[in-house]
Structures are given as C-alpha cells and as structure tokens.
Chains A and B, each alone.
Chain A
Amino acid sequence: SAVISQKPSRDICQRGTSLTIQCQVDSQVTMMFWYRQQPGQSLTLIATANQGSEATYESGFVIDKFPISRPNLTFSTLTVSNMSPEDSSIYLCSVGPRTDTQYFGPGTRLTVL
C-alpha cells in the first residue's frame, strides 16, 4: 500500500479566506481522490484528480469552490475557496482504483470561524 501524507494536518481559518491542502504519495499513482468528511458524518467524494487534465467533480461540488491541481503522479492539491463555517470538515485524499481498495491520507482538519 502507498504511504500518503497531507499538509497541513489541521488549520483554523477565517470566513472568506482560502486554504490549499497538499497530498503527497510515496509512489506514482494513476488516480487520486479528494473526500470531505463533515462533522459526525461519512465520507463524500468531492472529485477525482486527473494528472494532465482537469479534475472530475461529483454532483454538488464545483471547480470554483474546490479547485484541484495534479501536476504529477505523486502530488495533488485541493483548495477550499471563500470559506464559510459550513466548510468545516476533515478533507482526505486517497489513492487507488475508483471502485476498489483505496488508501487514505491522515486527513486535514479544517475549522472555519
């Protein structure tokens, strides 16, 4: 299994600002995913980060709010833009096949005041 790291591990941000979360994998992977885990809830897939092309967003998530970069096969970033308290969540990146075992990073715990 891949070793995945995320930065920052947690942050407290002000309403209206943006935060960029980094995800680094110790090996080259084809597919990387970003999930949101709202307080007390399960994981929801935000988007698939595609290397060399635009990210693919799930229903309810848009690029203007969650821009994603994937400059190479080991790295991706997720930006949470124009934040509001409703964006307070844990954001996780994962790698693996879209419909099979995925391995997750430790998550970024975001609090928006």
Chain B
Amino acid sequence: AQSVTQLGSHVSVSEGALVLLRCNYSSSVPPYLFWYVQYPNQGLQLLLKYTSAATLVKGINGFEAEFKKSETSFHLTKPSAHMSDAAEYFCAVSDRNMLTFGGGTRLMVKP
C-alpha cells in the first residue's frame, strides 16, 4: 500500500514570500497524486492532480507542483503567498485500492 509523508506539520511564511510544502510518497510510482486544500471550517477542495501527462502541474490559485520520480516527491509551490492561502494542505496518492492522505501541513501567512 502507498504511504505519504508531508514534512512539516506547520509552515509559516510572510505575505509575498515563496510557499513550499513538501510531500513524499512511497517508492512505487502511483497512478495519480493530488494536493487538496482545506480552508477553516470547510471541506477539502482539489488544488491540482498529477496524471503522468506532465511533471509540472498547475493548479488553482497560482499553485503548482512538480513530480520528481528520482526523489519520490510531489512538492507544492506558490511564488508569492497571499493571506487567503492560510489553510491546511493535504497531499494524497492513489494506488489500486484507495486514496491515501498525508498528515497535512498547516500554512500560516504573516502580514
């Protein structure tokens, strides 16, 4: 079964700074990789999805993620953080059976 590790349960950045949220999956290449965002008191919203068509995936709200097979990583980035980006972010992978979610990273944006 797949496993997902998100390094850093909390990440704090200043408004306008680069956002980097880390995600590593277990060794076998999954069919799909996802990033979801959960705003306070809301459910999960899909940010982006990797499907092997392109290693750099662009999502909503200016986020993108790069799939690196050699590093088994799928890190999420945004060039310039906005206050509205403050939320919890979940990386997820699929295998033949189900979606597996990482532990989540809470992003805090300082003014």
In the complex, the chain B residue whose C-beta lies closest to that of A44 is: B101
Alpha-carbon distance A58/B97, docked complex (angstroms): 11
Chain A CB within 8 A of B44 CB: yes
Given contacts A42-B90, A42-B102, contact A101 B97 (CB under 8 A): no
Residue contact A103 to B46, C-beta cutoff 8 Å? yes
The contact of B103 among A4, A42, A101, A104, by CB within 8 Å, is: A42
Interface of B is mostly: loop
Interface of A is mostly: loop
Chain B CB within 8 A of A99 CB: yes
Contact with A along B48-60 (1 / 0, CB 8 A): 0100000000000
Residue contact B43 to A99, C-beta cutoff 8 Å? no
Residue contact A41 to B94, C-beta cutoff 8 Å? no
B-side interface residues toward A, CB under 8 Å?
9, 31-32, 34, 36, 41-46, 49, 90, 94-99, 101-104
24 A-B interface contacts by CB (under 8 A): A1-B46, A4-B43, A42-B90, A42-B102, A42-B103, A42-B104, A45-B98, A45-B99, A92-B43, A92-B44, A94-B44, A98-B97, A99-B97, A99-B98, A99-B99, A100-B32, A100-B94, A101-B34, A102-B99, A104-B36, A104-B43, A104-B44, A104-B45, A105-B43
